[in-house]
């Protein structure tokens, strides 16, 4: 019996896209970011439902190939750097690369000449993230050589915010650097049809940065990355559920779990749930979280194990074997969000949802 299920609500996914598109307006392209297995939601099964987006953002060529093999024909942008050995497949599968250095631009140009094809590229600029991209002054020095390379189409230019939603002053500094660079390039008669910098938190909290296209990841999946009030009504797409495997009574002064981090102070009714850190449940929830059973909170007792967690059912006498246990999601009038779990664990919601592992079956509703 498969007890552990990630439930993906496709209607909520489509709702989130539509409300976000309504928020950014009709003239801004919407790129769906589906890297990291669609943020743990399942790349293949998510992508086939994204017919209302303008393109896809991925982290590497392998993710792009998966999309093409699903017969998805919309633009696919690799948002990070690429290896030289990836270029052949990038061109073969019509995937758009990011350019962060002159050497990669030269290699792509050579492949384009060999295949007699014009290769669209997006130039990445480091405006303060400190990861990928030309520094603004560096790009101004090499742009003429990039323009001289054959078989390249300068389609887009983009950057990435470091502190969107948390530090507006730095967001504005990065945005100003990006706009000043674009203005300097335009004075050199260099123009791009797609200029983009806004990620999910920028779309939600700095909408003046949307430009020609936005790259939306976690917000599309119904999670406000900042955890504060959202300007749009996002609905959670993912729920994580299990079932009660075993129920037992323990006496007063009885140890629960490894290293005796919980010792009962009274007779208790406990339940064992067949999911643990081997499935991606954060170990930091040990003695520090709860699940929902029969619409009530059941505290996590002791250390989370590789394959199990132990919960307190003392105040839920009606609980029985195989009852549903909600770890992320809603049950009755109560809910547990990825943001709440992340806060308890000192993590970010991105890591909570992307760490859920392959032993958990996904179903799409």
User: pLDDT per position in the chain (365 positions), as tens?
Assistant: 789 999 999 999 999 999 999 999 999 999 999 999 999 999 999 999 999 999 999 999 999 999 999 999 999 999 999 999 999 999 999 999 999 999 999 999 999 999 999 999 999 999 999 999 999 999 999 999 999 999 999 999 999 999 999 999 999 999 999 999 999 999 999 999 999 999 999 999 999 999 999 999 999 999 998 877 889 999 999 999 999 999 999 999 999 999 999 999 999 999 999 999 999 999 999 999 999 999 999 999 999 999 999 999 999 999 999 999 999 999 999 999 999 999 999 999 999 999 998 799 999 99
Residue 48, Cβ density class (10 Å: 0-12 exposed, 13-18 middle, ≥19 buried): middle
Q: Which residue has the tokens 């179903």?
A: 363
**Which domains, and CATH codes, for the chain?**
10-221 (3.20.20.10), 238-336 (2.40.37.10)
Q: What are the structure tokens assigned to 63, written together?
A: 């993710």
Residue 89 three-state SS = helix
Instruction: Based on the residue annotation, tell me whether 208 is a catalytic residue of this protein.
Output: no
pTM score, two decimals? 0.94
Strands 290-293 and 296-301: antiparallel
Distances (CA, A) of 87 to 103, 110, 127, 248: 12, 10, 26, 58
Active-site residue, 258 included: yes
Q: Give the Cα separation of 61 and 203 in Å (integer).
A: 26
H-run or E-run covering 331: strand 324-331
- Among 35, 124, 241, 243, the one annotated catalytic: 35
- The count of C-alpha atoms lying within 13 angstroms of the C-alpha of 273, restricted to the half-sphere facing its C-beta, is 34
Give SS3 for 106: helix
User: Two tokens at 204?
Assistant: 């939600």
Backbone angles phi, psi at 229, to 5 degrees: -60, 135
Exactly one of 258, 266, 320, 357 is catalytic; name it: 258
């Amino acid at each position: 019996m498969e007890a552990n299920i990630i439930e993906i609500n496709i209607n909520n996914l489509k709702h989130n896209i539509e409300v976000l598109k309504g928020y950014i307006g009709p003239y801004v392209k919407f790129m769906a970011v589906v890297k990291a297995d669609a943020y743990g939601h399942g790349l293949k099964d998510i992508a086939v439902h994204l017919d209302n987006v303008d393109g896809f953002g991925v982290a590497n060529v392998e993710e792009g190939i998966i999309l093409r093999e699903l017969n998805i024909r919309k633009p696919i942008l690799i948002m990070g750097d690429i290896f030289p050995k990836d270029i052949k497949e990038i061109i073969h599968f019509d995937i758009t690369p990011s350019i962060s250095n002159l050497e990669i631009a030269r290699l792509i140009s050579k492949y384009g000449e060999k295949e007699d094809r014009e290769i669209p590229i997006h130039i990445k600029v480091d405006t303060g993230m400190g990861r990928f991209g030309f520094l603004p002054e560096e790009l101004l020095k090499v742009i003429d050589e990039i323009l001289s390379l054959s078989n390249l189409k300068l389609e887009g230019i983009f950057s990435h915010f470091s502190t969107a939603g948390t530090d507006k002053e730095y967001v504005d500094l990065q945005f100003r650097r990006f706009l000043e660079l674009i203005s300097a390039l335009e004075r050199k008669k260099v123009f791009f049809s797609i200029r983009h910098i806004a990620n999910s938190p920028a779309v939600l909290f700095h909408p003046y940065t949307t430009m020609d296209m936005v790259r939306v990841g976690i917000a599309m999946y119904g999670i406000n990355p900042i955890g504060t009030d959202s300007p749009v009504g996002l609905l959670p797409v993912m729920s994580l559920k299990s079932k009660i495997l075993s129920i037992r009574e323990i006496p007063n002064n009885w140890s629960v779990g490894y290293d005796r981090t919980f010792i009962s102070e009274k007779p208790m009714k406990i339940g064992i749930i067949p999911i643990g850190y081997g499935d991606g449940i954060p170990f930091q929830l040990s003695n520090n979280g709860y699940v929902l059973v029969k619409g009530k909170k059941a505290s996590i007792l002791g250390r989370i194990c590789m394959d199990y967690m132990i919960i307190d059912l003392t105040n839920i006498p009606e609980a029985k074997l195989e009852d549903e246990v909600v770890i992320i999601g809603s049950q009755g009038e109560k809910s547990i969000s990825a943001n709440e779990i992340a806060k308890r664990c000192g993590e970010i919601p991105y890591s909570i949802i992307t760490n859920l592992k392959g032993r958990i079956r996904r179903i799409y509703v």
